[in-house]
Each structure stands twice: as C-alpha cells, then as structure tokens.
Amino acid sequence: MFACGVYGVLARRHGVMLLISIELMINAANINLITFSQLLHDPIGNIVVLFVIAVTAAEVGIGLAIVMMLYRNRSTVAVDELNLMKW
Amino acid sequence: MFGKQLTFWIFAGLAGLSSIFVVATRNVVHAALGLAAALVAAAGLFILFGAEFVGLAQILIYVGAVVILFLFGIMLTSQAPGRPVIDNQQRGLAAVVALGIFGVLAAGIIAAFGDRKVSFDVAFPVKELGSDLFTRWVLPFEAVSVLLLAALVGAIVLARRD
C-alpha cells in the first residue's frame, strides 16, 4: 500500500491524485502502528494513530485549498506545469 | 483463530487491491472511491487488531469527511480545458522506485518480526484510551487542536474568492 502511494506521488500529474496517494502512504503507516500496538500490547500506537488522523485531516484541507487556488489562478491541476518559481 | 486469520487476509487483500486500483485507474473520481475502499479495509484491520475506537474514527473522519472533501475538490477543478492530466513521463522509473521500496520494507519487516505471532486478542477499551489521551497525552492533544484550527483558518483564507 505504501509502495502504491509512492508510485502515485511520483507518476501522477493531477494535484488531487497526489493528495490521494499521500493518504495511501499515511494509511499504510497507520496500519503498521496499530499492528505494533497489538504486537507489543501497548496502547501508545492507538493514540499516535488518532493524532495522525487529525493531522491528516488538516493536511487534506490545506492541500485541497492549494489545489483549488492553483486551478483558479492557472486553470490547470497539473503539478508539473507549476514552474513559476523555477529559473 | 482461523476465522480471524481469514478476516485479516480478506481485509489486507482488499486494502492492497484497492490501493493498486487507486494508482492504476485513469479516472480521478474512481481513484477517490478506490481510496474510500482502501480506507474502509484499513478500518476493518484496525478493528480486527483490537483498536475499535480508532477504526470507527477512521470510518467517520476518513470515509465520511476526507473522501467527500476529495470529491468536492475534484468536482470544483474538473472543468479544466485542454488535454486531460493523468500521468507524467516518469511512470517506469516511479514503478521501479515503488517496487524497490516495497521489497526493502517487506524484507525488513519480515527479517525483524517475521517469526512473531500477532495475538489478535488484546483489546484497547475506549475508556482506557480516553483517560490516557487526556492525562499523559493532553499536551499533544491540545497542540493538534490548535493545528486543526490553524489549518481550517488557512484553508478558508486560501480558498476564499477575493
């Protein structure tokens, strides 16, 4: 699942697809945390996953706002056409 | 025990297949729905591993809110003129890198924990989790609250038409 996310980030051009792939990676990490929580009989993993979920919600909100602003200003959602700050 | 093993493999297979679908499909809306399937499978795994509260929170927050947010984002940005944007020219390289990372991660995890059995039988009750969250972890909790507030304000400022 993590590898799928990495592939998505590297191969996709659509801004929203990039965010979706990041979600996949975060979820793979979450599954790992929960698994170790069960394996080590320690509730810390669960608590960390709760924090990760909250932070991810914030990240998605900001990311989608950025994509929407990009669409409004440049009328594209392709991240490799974002060369404004390149020289 | 065998039933739980079977359930684990069903959910794990569903998660893996739907995440492959997410990055393989050419339609962004299909990708968002595939993400929802992968997240539901992950929530199933969470509940199977005794983390009922986290699993339910996952369904509520991710499937209920984040995927809907994605669909809104796709809807608002989908009328882009010109050629559709799908992939860039790095697909082969990206596949190689992803497979390499998968191999390294799988080999590492199997080498480190391959011989240990996950017992599936420890449940983390919500009461314990809540009291832990509000005593030992109260400072990170407040920090996350402030972060969410800041992100909300930032998103509104960014997305506002002015």
Q: Inform me whether the C-beta atom of residue A55 falls under 8 Å from chain B C-beta atoms.
A: yes
Q: Which CATH architecture has domain A2-81?
A: Orthogonal Bundle (1.10)
d(CA B111, CA B127): 35
d(CA B9, CA B22): 20
Q: Quote the DSSP letter at residue A80.
A: G
Q: How confident is the model at residue B1 (pLDDT cuts 50, 70, 90)?
A: low
Domain edges within chain B: 2-90
d(CA A13, CA A10): 8
Q: Is A5's pLDDT higher than 60?
A: no
Q: Could you read off the pLDDT of A38-67 as tens digits, one per residue?
A: 777 777 878 888 888 888 888 888 888 887
d(CA B101, CA A7): 10
Q: Could you read off the pLDDT of B84-139 as tens digits, one per residue?
A: 555 556 667 777 777 777 777 777 777 776 666 666 666 777 777 788 778 888 88
Q: Which residues contact B18 (CB under 8 A, 6 or more apart)?
A: B34, B35, B37, B38, B41
Q: Could you read off the pLDDT of A67-87 as tens digits, one per residue?
A: 777 777 766 656 655 555 554
| Mean pLDDT for the stretch of residues B70-94 | 66
Q: B9-37 burial, b if ≥16 CB within 10 A, otherwise e? A: eebbebbbebbbbbbebeebeebbbbbbb
- Cβ-nearest to A76 among B73, B80, B94: B80
Q: Which of the two residues, A64 and B2, has the higher pLDDT score?
A: A64
Domain edges within chain A: 2-81
**Three-state secondary-structure class, residue A14:** strand
CB < 8 Å to B16, chain A? 1, 4
Whether A16 sits inside 8 A of B80 (CB atoms) is: no
Q: Could you read off the pLDDT of B18-59 as tens digits, one per residue?
A: 888 877 777 778 888 888 888 888 888 888 887 788 888 888
Inter-chain Cβ pairs, chain A and chain B, closer than 8 A: 207
Whether A16 sits inside 8 A of B73 (CB atoms) is: yes
Q: Which CATH architecture has domain B2-90?
A: Up-down Bundle (1.20)
**Three-state secondary-structure class, residue A12:** strand
Q: Inform me whether the C-beta atom of residue A61 falls under 8 Å from chain B C-beta atoms.
A: yes
**pLDDT recorded at residue B11:** 83
